[in-house]
Amino acid sequence: MNEVTYEKKLDTSYEEILRDYLRTGQKKDLYQIKKFSKELMKEGVAPEVIVEMHLKAIKKINKNKKTYPKKIIDESFTFLMEGIITYKTAYQEYLDSKKADYLDEIRELNRKLSEKLAEMTTLYETAKLTCSSLNLDEMLSSGFDSAVKILNAETGSLMLFDSEKEFLTIKKSYGLNEEIIRKTRIKKGETIVGLVAQSGEPLIIYGRADLPVRCTQTGISPI
């Protein structure tokens, strides 16, 4: 639909609604102009265009006479004001919604930036300690604490392999009770931890970590 045809369609629709209102004076016809005004706002039609449509419609309804009956002047003015007020309200609601969306985007961006800054700060502090310390316990502890903080983990553990007893024990933990820490003994090849220790390859698990897996030469995969 070209611009001229679209404009004529709007003029015709406006005129029909105005004619109905002037003929009946009923509120249902005022409701129609409110509804139409909201549609015009969504279509990006400017308020001054609505005024132009109104003047065109009045001329046609009054058959282009130079004088207008008081009834037409008063009632058409009420009609126009209802349309403009509704347009203004709808436009304000639109702006408010966009403002809310914009603020949400800003908050989300700030949250992500804060998280990234915290991660970088934590990694920097860990790297600085690693470079300045020759104490293995300090380096492991710092690295573990950093991982827990960056991942926002609820629980976690750092396990080391005891070559004499040939099993893994918990060296450092977060969110685990003392009994689990004391009793946990895992051989290579047992559970996901043991399979990772056996393969010597890092593993990221998405979802449940208690599902059965198999360890092969190519890595660890679900059974």
Mean pLDDT of 195-213: 71
pLDDT at 212 over 70: no
Residue 170, strand partner residues: 159
C-alpha 59/C-alpha 155 separation (Å) is 77
Sequence-distant (≥ 6) Cβ neighbours of residue 181 within 8 angstroms: 157, 170, 173
Q: Does the pLDDT value for residue 203 go beyond 80? A: no
218: pLDDT strictly greater than 70: no
Q: Which pLDDT value is given to residue 121?
A: 77
Give the range among 32-41, 76-85, 153-162, 200-209 with minimum mean pLDDT: 200-209
pLDDT at 214 over 70: no
Segment 8-35 shows an average pLDDT of: 85
Least confident of 1-5, 8-12, 105-109, 188-192: 1-5
CB atoms within 10 A of CB 76: 20
74 pLDDT above the threshold of 60:
yes
More confident residue, 123 or 222: 123
pLDDT for 71 equals 78
Q: What is the pLDDT of residue 216?
A: 55
pLDDT of residue 46: 86
Contact 138, 129 (CB under 8 A): yes
pLDDT at 77 exceeding the cut of 70 = yes
pLDDT tens track for 140-199: 787 788 788 877 888 888 888 888 888 998 888 888 888 888 888 988 888 888 888 888
Whether the pLDDT of residue 44 is over 80: the answer is: yes
Query: How high is the pLDDT of residue 143?
Result: 79
pLDDT for the residue 30: 83
**Cα–Cα distance list, 3 to 6, 7, 16, 192 (Å):** 5, 6, 20, 67
So what's the pLDDT on residue 101?
81
Please name the helix (run of DSSP H) or strand (run of DSSP E) that holds residue 157, with its range, or none: strand 156-162
In the chain the domains, ranked by start, together with CATH numbers, are: 3-101 (1.10.1240)
